[in-house]
Amino acid sequence: MNIKNNKRWLYIATPIFFLWFFGQIDKLGISIVQTDPQFLSDLGMTGANANAKIGFLTFIFMVAYAISNFFWGFFIDKFGARKTAIIGVSIWTVTMLLGGFATTYEMFMVTRIVLGIGEGMMIPVCGKFIATWFNKNELGRAQSSWISGNYAGPAIGAVFISLIIATLSWHATFFILAGLNLLLVLPMLIFLTRNEPESHPGVSKEELSYIRQDDTPVTEEKKKSYVQDSRYWIVWFGMVITSFLFFGISIWLPTYLMQARNFDVDAMTGITSLSWLFALGFVLICGYLADKTKRPSLIATILFASCAILLTVSTQVSVAIISALALGLAMGTLGGIFHLSNLFIVQFSTPETAGRAAGLMGFTNIFGGFSSYVMGWMRDNNGGDFGPSLIMLIAITALGFIAYLFTLKTENKEVQEAKKKIQNQSEMQVI
């Protein structure tokens, strides 16, 4: 395929990359903002229960985010990914402005709830776009395009937000991010994307033919298959675990680095940014390996085991930089698992059901909110010590590893059958 017949990477992959790039900064930038003493003082997050109040902000955001994922999925399947994405970004742009004007904890909390509702469309929107716009043999790379934004955004955002807070104020962070959404993300969605490649004037007949290659008619039975496939529910449970671990680590990482390991602001920013780059690296590697090996379940199983080992290292070593890097790498492995989980969504559903399948999978993000709150509550009850929280994360990682073990036999069987089919076709061609 030449550049002329690869327009889907411009029209779809590029907008959804920036959708996640800025969406994740808006969502997870709070982990940096909450290290600012002025922010905590202005919104009353001080005192004996301060950590629980900080964690509750992410908890309530994730509740709204997760529940709206489910409902957005049905909206997307009915009205299309493009319209849904435009509505969602418009909601969260206004919300970011209101967040910058917040003067009380309660007011700020309301803006986080509405932000969660607006951003809840992101996973099902991208699942729908990918299922509709890309050939089945490039799903891993296509998923990598937006999941890369998922981690590149916070990696750069950590530095960006720290700089804004240092030179202006925490309020300015929200105003600037709202402006970037309005000036960059919305125009891309409006002018570049369409719901289907058939309705896009820039897509050639050759590219459309490639996208639809090997498409088969969708029966009613196939439309329902994802809820009947036990592997979908194993992946769903794996996403519960991944969300709990990922948001627990990512939200509290900057605070952990500064308060538990005594890093200054500059070092905290650098390590936080590096941790997001680790996640991005795992996404890119897993996207390639998933397409190459056709063994995404095996890769996810290995990543869960690696995460448990790295978390253990982080809690046991006394050298601060080694502990920080181990925790950052653990977060990186979860990025790889998250990518593979979204790949499974497309594999186990059809273009017609991808929005609902992704929305149901996105509901698991609610457990990420529980994690941030539980870790804050445990800190308050253990004198600010992160140790019990990290031990809890190690135990939960083991559950994800065990769950994925049950997918390996079926996956191996499918790979072997695919190899035999290719071999038989080669033999027939020779004859």
pLDDT band at 191 (very low <50, low <70, confident <90, very high): very high
Residue-wise pLDDT for 28-70, tens only, equals 788 889 889 999 999 998 887 888 888 888 888 888 888 887 7
So what's the pLDDT on residue 152?
Answer: 86
d(CA 279, CA 275): 7
- Residue 390's identity, in one-letter code, is L
So what's the pLDDT on residue 222?
Answer: 47
**Nearest CA-CA partner of 274 in 177, 358, 159, 364:** 159
**Nearest CA-CA partner of 29 in 196, 276, 237, 199:** 276
Greater confidence (58 vs 194) lies with 194
Greater confidence (123 vs 11) lies with 11
So what's the pLDDT on residue 355?
Answer: 63
**Nearest CA-CA partner of 182 in 65, 61, 102, 86:** 86
Q: Is 104 helix (H, G, I), strand (E, B) or coil?
A: coil
CA count, 13 A, side-chain hemisphere, 413: 5
Mean predicted confidence (pLDDT) in 117-126: 89
Q: How far is CA 8 from CA 4, 135, 192, 361, in A?
A: 10, 10, 10, 25
Q: How far is CA 45 from the centre of its chain?
A: 27
Residue-wise pLDDT for 276-325, tens only, equals 889 888 888 887 787 788 888 899 999 999 999 999 999 999 899 999 99
311, 302 Cβ separation under 8 angstroms: no
Q: How far is CA 238 from CA 44, 64, 187, 284, 403, in A?
A: 36, 21, 35, 20, 7
The angle that helices 320-348 and 139-167 make with each other, rounded to 10 degrees, is: 140
Residue-wise pLDDT for 58-103, tens only, equals 888 888 888 887 788 788 888 899 999 999 999 999 999 999 999 9
d(CA 60, CA 285): 33
* Eight-class DSSP state of 168: S
* Eight-class DSSP state of 94: H
Residue-wise pLDDT for 202-251, tens only, equals 888 888 888 888 655 544 544 456 667 777 888 889 888 998 998 889 88
So what's the pLDDT on residue 3?
Answer: 56
Q: How far apart are the first and last CA of the chain?
A: 29
d(CA 123, CA 146): 10
Residue owning tokens 């290995």: 302
Global confidence as pTM: 0.75
So what's the pLDDT on residue 12?
Answer: 93
Residue-wise pLDDT for 402-426, tens only, equals 998 988 888 888 778 777 777 776 6
